[in-house]
Amino acid sequence: MTGEGEPMAANSEALKRAAAARALEEVKPGMRLGLGTGSTANAFVELLGERVRGGLDVRCVPTSEATAALAGQVGLTLATLDDMPELDLTVDGADEIGPDLALIKGGGGALLREKIVAAASGAMVVIADAAKLVGTLGRFPLPIEIVPFGAEATRRAVLRLAEAQGLKGEVRLRTRDGHVFVTDGGHFILDAGFGAIPDPAALACGLAGIAGVVEHGLFIGLATKAIVAGDGGVQVLTRSANTES
């Protein structure tokens, strides 16, 4: 049994890197870039670093402290979103990619900054391995960022909303190493295991109306392209047609 999971993990890493490499083709000299968070986004940051060390001139806004640290290590020029409030392109990973390139994000806890940066970008390219493609969002528990004050009251409000929308499942406060997980912005995360979410837009709208919810991981209408690497090669999906190009 030893090492049974290793080939799949190694394959997954190779697929993430293949998607990241294809995303580099979207980057042009002089661009203002948003850098996502997570293992797939890290692969892109590392490859971008190689290009920058080879002379490519871009400036980058990271979506997390972790990405900022990696980007600094590989030699990228960093700026804040206040320095560059409008970006040309953001490249980020996702936990799920559904129809019309609606996404679930926030598995890494960076969804708030990720959404702000994506919204400030002219284009958002999502990079992923094919395991992230789903027919209906919701297999991955939906991350919901909340303020620490009244966290339990907010959790119950989320449950009431879910019930009103016919959704069932556990909503748990995220922990890490036995402690409540705290985001870069000082907030908590609820992970909502609703299962299939038939109407993501209605859920997004409802969550946005709950006091205490800072942001949620449903990214609707933000991704313009998804670059998805699978065993059969790299597939490029666009939001308008959601077809291979």
Ligand X SMILES: O=C(CO)[C@H](O)[C@H](O)COP(=O)(O)O
Catalytically annotated residues: 114
109 binds ligand X (CB under 6 A): yes
Out of 17, 22, 105, 155, the residue judged to bind ligand X by CB under 6 A: 105
The verdict on 49 binding ligand X (CB under 6 A) reads no
Among 61, 71, 111, 117, which residue interacts with ligand X (rule: CB under 6 A)? 111
Does residue number 141 form part of the binding site for ligand X (CB under 6 A)? no
Which listed residue (92, 96, 191, 215) binds ligand X by CB under 6 A? 92
37 binds ligand X (CB under 6 A): yes
* Side-chain-side CA neighbours of residue 25 (13 Å): 9
Q: How far apart are CA 236 and CA 127, in angstroms?
A: 9
Rounded CA Rg of the chain: 18
The nearer residue to ligand X, 175 or 211, going by C-beta atoms, is: 175
Q: How far apart are CA 228 and CA 170, in angstroms?
A: 30
Residue 107 vs 206, nearer CB to ligand X: 107
Is residue 36 near ligand X by the rule CB under 6 A? Answer: yes
Kindly state the smallest distance separating residue 64's Cβ from ligand X, in Å: 7
Among 99, 93, 102, 96, smallest CA distance to 135 is for: 99
| Contact call for residues 58 and 78 (beta carbons, < 8 A) | no
Least CB distance from residue 55 to ligand X, whole Å? 28
- DSSP sequence for 124-160: EEEEEEGGGB-SSTTSSPEEEEE-STTHHHHHHHHHH
Tokens representing 88 are 């040309």
- Check binding of 34 to ligand X (CB under 6 A): no
Q: What percent helix, strand, coil does the chain show, rounded to 5?
A: 35, 25, 40
Structure tokens given for 93:
């990973």
114 binds ligand X (CB under 6 A): yes
Asked if 157 interacts with ligand X (CB under 6 A), we say no
List of residues 6+ apart from 83 with CB closer than 8 A = 61
Q: Is 150 annotated as a binding residue?
A: no
Q: Considering the complex, what minimum distance in angstroms separates the CB of residue 140 from ligand X?
A: 9
Helix or strand run (H / E) with residue 242: none
**Count residues contacting ligand X (CB under 6 A)?**
18
Where do contacts with ligand X occur on this chain (CB under 6 A)?
36-41, 92-95, 105-111, 114
Annotated binding site: 37-40, 92-95, 105-108, 132
